[in-house]
Structure 1
């Protein structure tokens, strides 16, 4: 961070004393951060945030009383609200973390370098918020996803997703040659993704419009979308009107 910047004022909220102590030790070694307090449950996290106005909240999810997701929702109404970084032993809350606009999502045990990156990201987020305040209500469209990765969790920008395919109770996000599973419904994705950018072509498939190279018909007259990576995506009968809309017919 720039030398003239003030240290980030950080509040830790974790009901496990050993986990909270480890975070304090890591924070003491991190650059550009200052601990201002600790909370051991959700209600205390809200009360201390209101009293201390921290820049960043390192927030556990599974806590007595209000869980971390509920705390983040409650604090979102504050102006200004702290940048929230979730610190948890569980990866199944990643989608919920995105929905409350978390800046980052760290898996326990926290790696010191990973914590530093999260603090740097929080600093950048706070600076951007000051220089470019978000419009009232924020964007109505999904802009990013959290997905499990071998190293923990990865943030995926919605604009980078080539297509989405359904796999039972999960959706697979395809980005180039890589893909990630997220716990989401196809209906929720169709509603949340910007229709100017994405189109649903099948009950189990959503495709980014500029990833479509063309359309052909098979022997039975069904539309087939040819995609930029050389693969093909059948168009469901209920979605054939989308082909005409894309082609301007």
Structure 2
């Protein structure tokens, strides 16, 4: 199998590379230092399995695994971690196995063997087994088979339309297949429901105003567009504005 090693510590990456070489049968095709690099390297190198740390600066391993689930041919993920309490979370995001540091060569060999026996269908079944409790820092946008990562902090609003949701930043619009209910559940502390089809990022709200017909609108920083507030949500939006 082709193996991608993901860890922010060089000594850990070197040790894993050495052990994979000693085990034989598999080839280390690349390395990455965090979750974002892991996604980019996965798209470039198409590894069969990732040996990925959980705790890393920037995007951690759990979130990276969530984004990788969306690929047509997702790799297997073997988490490497010094934190045993993360084991349950690991298995909820397509983990073939998890290895507790310091990693033993025989245990690594067993995990790689297990990954090699999984078919694509079994990996996809693992992906769909259950929702992950991880709160994402980025959203996955799929463009021509590739993953584009959009930082959640850059999102101005989510706007639902049938089965798709528009993700709007200051400069771009993207479509994702998700529901506002799920997005509100995950990011509700930073977003305000203003309409049954709209969530607005509170850090980007510049104010609220009423037009001549009595309809309230939300105005956004750096965007020449107003979003209508439904009657049902007007009171909650005004309460938020008075805080």
TM-score by length of 2: 0.52
State the shift of 1:175 in Å. Answer: 1.6
C-alpha deviation, 1:54, in angstroms: 4.7
CA deviation digits over 1:191-243, x for unaligned, max 9? 11132x21011111111112111111122211111122110000011111222
Matched-pair contact (CA < 8 Å) for 1:8–1:55: no
- Residue 79 of structure 1 and its aligned partner are, at CA, apart by 6.1
Q: Which residue of 1 aligns with 2:111?
A: none
Tell me how far apart the structure 2 counterparts of residues 3 and 68 of structure 1 sit (CA, whole Å).
22
Determine the structure 1 residue equivalent to 2:112: none
Q: What is residue 153 of structure 2 aligned with on the other side?
A: 159
Q: 1:149 maps to which residue?
A: 143
Matches of 1:156 and 1:6, distance apart in 2: 27
Q: Runs of 4 or more off by more than 2 Å in structure 1?
A: 1-12, 53-63, 67-82, 141-144
For the pair 1:222 / 2:215, whether they are aligned, the reply is yes
Aligned to 1:247: 241
Residue-pair matches, total: 167
1:231 matched residue in structure 2: 225
Which of these residues, 192, 199, 202, is aligned with residue 192 of structure 2?
199
Alignment check: 8 A CA contact 1:149 1:180 kept: no
Is the aligned partner of 1:9 residue 2:3?
no
> Match of 1:230, SS?
strand
Structure 2, unaligned stretches of length 5 or more?
A: 1-7, 33-48, 54-60, 78-89, 102-107, 109-119
**1:23-63 CA distance string (max 9 Å, x none):** 94xx44x368xxxxxxxxxxxxxxxx9xxx95479989779
Q: Which moved more, 1:142-151 or 1:182-191?
A: 142-151
Tell me how far apart the structure 1 counterparts of residues 153 and 96 of structure 2 sit (CA, whole Å). Answer: 25
Gapped regions of structure 1 (runs ≥ 5): 13-20, 33-48, 83-87, 101-137
1:169 maps onto 2:189 in alignment: no
Distance (Å, rounded) in 2 between the aligned partners of 1:219 and 1:191: 34
Q: Contact 1:148–1:180 at 8 Å: present in 2 too?
A: no
Let me know the Cα RMSD of the aligned residues.
4.8
Q: 1:176 to 1:4 in 2, by over 3 A?
A: same
In structure 2, the partner of 1:186 is: 180
